[in-house]
Structure 1
Amino acid sequence: MVLTTSRRRRVLATAAAMITAVPLATLAALSADASVPSTPPGWTLQWSDDFTGPANTLPSTQNWIFDLGHGYPGGPANWGTGEIQNYTSSTDNIKLDGAGNLRITALRDGSGNWTSARIETQRANFKPPAGGKLAIESRLQMPNVTGQAALGYWPAFWALGSPYRGNYWNWPAIGEFDIMENVNGINSAWGVLHCGVNPGGPCNETNGLGASRACPGSSCQSAFHTYRFEWDESVSPKQFRWYVDGQQFHSVNQNQFDATTWNNMTSHAGYFLLLNLAVGGAFPNGVAGGSTPTSATVPGHSLVVDYVAVWSAGGGTQPTTTTTTQPGGSGWDAFADIQAEQATARSGGTIESAEGGQAVARLGNGNWLRFSGVRFGSTTARQFYGRVASGAADGVSGLVEVRLGSPTATPIGSFALANTGGWQSWRTVPANIAGVSGTQDVYVTFTSGQPSAYVSVNWIRFGT
């Protein structure tokens, strides 16, 4: 789901030929909740959602953010792809079906306006442990519609590099993994990598480096299939791999890229995952050879998702345990150490080694860290602690602030920081804060009168 107005696609001739080759899909009965598969030996489940819940309710806001409208605020129009639908959080467009599935449904009103839905994970730090592997997987059924009635349907399961949040103009350098894309009801799944610069560059933008194949056995539209992406740092050269129903159909190796391109898409905090059902846009238009949707396109069909799961293997401990082992299975314990590099999202800084682990280093004015769903419970926190270091030049200093709900909300507390003796000279600094309880989205923000970086953060926690 590339973020550029000049969207394209490879193998258009092949895809166009497939339109006439695909028979009308037969109606498939949806399976009951199949749940997340058992974790195989050597792997650790890092995060998952099997969409279990009452029918006609929204997916968990602890796990997901709802993208709304026609683009991110300040970002490219029409999500940068030319798609025409308006994304909503209405249960008309997105809901649990009560049978363990999520349904994202594209609808058209009497005036011809389309609506649908798009969600992205709160977590934005999915990446393999050093020297290990990461697997991102979903079992889903594409909208069960083919032929002329399917023109313009564009379901996708994909991942974007975390620095995209709050910037929206650094694509494709931050990386994009299209784990599953499909258009126009064709019996084919596309897997694509986007990287580097646009146009051209090592990922041949705006095409990306991609491959496609038909779904094994039953068509992609008539049945559930499992789509998986693996990021493998345990091999040399390091590798990305794409699978459908366990059958590999695409791979990309590190030695296909220069060091800067590879580092730009792999050395940041990680990736967030997205599920959406777009309508129209450059990809379906390019395959169809004309504008989509058309008057023949039939609304009301759904992308149906059984589960989404992320596993890691090898290479030491994946830095995600805070969000997967807390009571309730998600969120953060306010009174335990919350590792900065595990932030749900961040603006600025780099990941560096620190005190036997990692930290978000060299943060400056206007940068922030977000921790979604921090649980204070009924205990009121009145203290904030930051494990910080600074190698800032003389005269460079700034504030470390705590805000709730937004990076622009009024701070509930702060402390000032200048040079501590170096970027690895760590100290724990306390601050008084206004009383906080319940469950909150916590932002740690950084404000300075100088443009230079002035603080690295190892961890934060709260106290009474």
Structure 2
Amino acid sequence: MTPSDSPHPARRSRSPVRFAAALGAATLLFGAGVAASLDANAAAPPAPTGWTQTFLDDFNGGGLGGDWRVSEGTSYPGGPANFGTGEVEVSSRDNVTVSGGIMSITARGQGLGPWTAARIETNRQDFRPPPGGKLRVEGSLRLPEAPNGQSAGYWPAFWMLGGPYRGNWWNWPGIGEFDIMEQVNGANRVWSTVHCGTSPGGPCNEKSGVGNGGPGGCQGTACTKGFHRYTIDWSAADNSATFYLDGRQTWRVQRGANIDAGTWDQAFGSHGFFLILNIAMGGEMPANTLGPLNGATTGGGHLDADYVAAYTGPANAPPPPVGPPGGGPTPTPTQTPPTCGPLISQGRPATSSAIEGDLVAGNAFDGNPATRWSSAWSDPQWIQVDLGAVQAVSRVKLDWEAAYGSGYTIQASTNGTTWTTAFEESFGDGGTDDLKVTATARFIRLNGTTRGTGYGYSLWEFQVFGGCGGTPGPTPTNGPTPTGTPSGGGNRDAYSPIEAESSDGRSGLTLETCADTGGGQDLATGANGDWALFRGVTFGTTAARQFTARVASGAGGGVSGLVEVRLDSASGPPIGSFAIADSGGWQTWRTVPANISAVTGTHDVYLTFTSGQPADYVSVNWISFGH
């Protein structure tokens, strides 16, 4: 077994990448007298109300303190080459500086290399929540952007890795990993991900992991232009991990919800973790998201840390406050919606993606605050209303139940098939969202891309208001309401679930009754060389960058394969893919995301299936795309 075939901390690989062995690494410890873990200066935050500070480095000393080590070279001693991720830099203490209360890691090199940067880690490896309580880990960081924006291949991260990894180096991902922040190529996007289980595939979809797919970034100032707070609250009370950016929830995982109990307990149930800050250059995540290193990439980009802190608290310790560190620029407030337009959605026909139990879409439009709509426990999900006729829209009001949307768009359509985005939210925090939405439409849809909890999306009420001016909208007509999933033949919305059985052509696949939420049929017996065609998928003018599929596998004996997306030809180059192995059974369904190359316009979409062996390895219920 070669390093590239073995488990290792690969943080977001989309496909196995093989590399030659490179330099070994020596771990360098710094003198303990330089900076104690509870040093503070004026910029260091006090312990939040309800929390007790257990670690703080505000980098106010003369160098990197004794709480940290630098892992030098290109691997851990005896561990996978290139730190198991395909990154090409040499990690060196020479790339770490501390000055003016800021710790900086700087990438140095040009083009395809050679490159140097650094990976620093806490000596402590006992970070975990107290029994029945919570652990918070937070960093105030400014993310790297190379001079002139030539940042292709930059991959900074702030993350936590299970302590048992030290000295073994081959037990990833079973020992667990929390990626509090990952960023690629200087983009104003932040990924948060959990890794666990086995690799490749396994219950946590390795090496992709269980994450939010990087739906958005920093508000007020870009992540590369100012300091922002990146936070995880890990709770032993409800066995969950919640991720925040400037106090706005961006992702949440929970034992028994989106990670099964046995896998969670192995990865996060008993051992401690250590903290890591690093810049990787090249490797699997840039190559499979926003682009690899190229000849134009320039050195000089730096990851800056103002402080790194840890706190413990009881089960009811409050979430972090909303806003950037130090009272800097605050996110731009949402515009106040007009209140002059009439309510035009109540009682109108409504449809949605898969639902939980009998909590149907119509409950969100019945005017009864005691009834609700609730979706399946996966991303993406959608709910839409037919207003009966094309008319002006000025306002949308969402009253969330506890299961809310952290990332979503409000979409408008005149015909139920072609949609435009009228409003986008990347950091929703639940409660009531009263939104200024300007559109002319017959259909209004909420398209949820990132759940705020481990459950689904749930709304007490979804209200749409007409234009101002005192004139009622056109008289509605009670024609049929499109569902957003055409039965075939084109005009498909990329951002709504496309049922697999509606394919316009297929080879090697068979139809079977589906036991997943929503019933219907699925495409089964997917094996090497098979394909399915979906004609006329409309992506619009805003590029799609994510693909999601609802899949199941009962393949045993280590059988696995790729689900690939190709445009306009079954033999064209894949724009994205993910690996799938045994999910626990042919009707044990899970939602798997993958990043894709940017796509706009309208295309015929081919799902193709590639494996190094001939056995069936996947069934598909539906597919969808996201921005």
TM range (shorter): 0.5 to 0.7
User: Aligned ranges for residues 233-244 of structure 1 at < 5 Å?
Assistant: 233-235=236-238, 238-244=239-245
1:134, 1:6 → 2: CA distance? Answer: 24
Q: Deviations over 1:401-427 (max 9, x none)?
A: xxxxxxxxxxxxxxxxxxxxxxxxxxx
| Ranges in structure 1 where 5+ consecutive residues have no aligned partner | 10-31, 317-464
CA gap 1:298/1:109 in 2 versus in 1, 3 angstroms = closer
CA gap 1:6/1:311 in 2 versus in 1, 3 angstroms = closer
1:51, 1:149 → 2: CA distance? Answer: 28
* Amino acid aligned to 1:63: D
Q: Equivalent of 1:52, from 51, 56, 60?
A: 60
CA gap 1:198/1:146 in 2 versus in 1, 3 angstroms = farther
Name which one, 1 or 2, has greater alpha-carbon Rg: 2
How high is the TM-score relative to the length of structure 2? 0.43
Flag the structure with higher helix content. Answer: 1
Q: Equivalent of 1:225, from 218, 225, 228?
A: 228
| % identity of equivalent residues | 45
* Amino acid aligned to 1:217: G
Does residue 1:118 correspond to 2:119, yes or no? Answer: yes
1:258, 1:110 → 2: CA distance? Answer: 42
2:147 touches 2:298 (CA, 8 Å); kept in 1? no
Q: Equivalent of 1:281, from 265, 283, 305?
A: 283
Give how far 1:113 is off: 1.3
2:249, 2:112 → 1: CA distance? Answer: 43
Does residue 1:183 correspond to 2:184, yes or no? Answer: yes
1:162 touches 1:271 (CA, 8 Å); kept in 2? yes
User: Aligned ranges for residues 256-405 of structure 1 at < 5 Å?
Assistant: 256=257, 257-289=259-291, 292-314=292-314
Give how far 1:218 is off: 1.0
2:220, 2:129 → 1: CA distance? Answer: 31
2:12, 2:135 → 1: CA distance? Answer: 31
* Amino acid aligned to 1:40: P
2:269, 2:88 → 1: CA distance? Answer: 34
2:208, 2:112 → 1: CA distance? Answer: 33
Give how far 1:307 is off: 0.4
Q: Match of 1:338? A: none
Does residue 1:43 correspond to 2:51, yes or no? Answer: yes
What is the Cα-based RMSD across aligned positions, in Å? 2.4
2:193 touches 2:210 (CA, 8 Å); kept in 1? yes
Give how far 1:110 is off: 10
Q: Match of 1:395? A: none
CA gap 1:266/1:278 in 2 versus in 1, 3 angstroms = same
User: Aligned ranges for residues 128-143 of structure 1 at < 5 Å?
Assistant: 128-143=129-144
CA gap 1:152/1:75 in 2 versus in 1, 3 angstroms = same
1:70 touches 1:77 (CA, 8 Å); kept in 2? yes
1:64 touches 1:119 (CA, 8 Å); kept in 2? yes
CA gap 1:110/1:79 in 2 versus in 1, 3 angstroms = closer
CA gap 1:137/1:281 in 2 versus in 1, 3 angstroms = same
2:111, 2:311 → 1: CA distance? Answer: 44
Give how far 1:261 is off: 1.0
Q: Deviations over 1:167-220 (max 9, x none)?
A: 011111110000000011110111000011111222111111111221122111
What secondary structure is seen at the aligned counterpart in 2 of 1:284? Answer: helix
2:112 touches 2:294 (CA, 8 Å); kept in 1? no
Q: Match of 2:201? A: 200
What secondary structure is seen at the aligned counterpart in 2 of 1:71? Answer: coil
Q: Deviations over 1:336-387 (max 9, x none)?
A: xxxxxxxxxxxxxxxxxxxxxxxxxxxxxxxxxxxxxxxxxxxxxxxxxxxx
2:146 touches 2:301 (CA, 8 Å); kept in 1? yes
* Amino acid aligned to 1:70: T
Give how far 1:144 is off: 3.0
User: Aligned ranges for residues 239-254 of structure 1 at < 5 Å?
Assistant: 239-254=240-255
What secondary structure is seen at the aligned counterpart in 2 of 1:263? Answer: helix
User: Aligned ranges for residues 7-86 of structure 1 at < 5 Å?
Assistant: 7-8=13-14, 35-54=43-62, 57=63, 59-60=64-65, 62-86=66-90
| Ranges in structure 2 where 5+ consecutive residues have no aligned partner | 1-7, 16-39, 317-627
2:111 touches 2:298 (CA, 8 Å); kept in 1? no
2:79 touches 2:169 (CA, 8 Å); kept in 1? yes
1:120 touches 1:272 (CA, 8 Å); kept in 2? yes
* Amino acid aligned to 1:64: W
Q: Deviations over 1:20-47 (max 9, x none)?
A: xxxxxxxxxxxx9763311122210011
Report the number of matched residues: 283
User: Aligned ranges for residues 85-124 of structure 1 at < 5 Å?
Assistant: 85-90=89-94, 93-97=95-99, 99-108=100-109, 112-124=113-125
Q: Deviations over 1:212-258 (max 9, x none)?
A: 221122111111110000111233xx211000000001001111333
How high is the TM-score relative to the length of structure 1? 0.58
* Amino acid aligned to 1:269: H
1:253, 1:145 → 2: CA distance? Answer: 36
1:146 touches 1:185 (CA, 8 Å); kept in 2? no
CA gap 1:146/1:172 in 2 versus in 1, 3 angstroms = farther
2:266, 2:120 → 1: CA distance? Answer: 24
1:310, 1:147 → 2: CA distance? Answer: 35
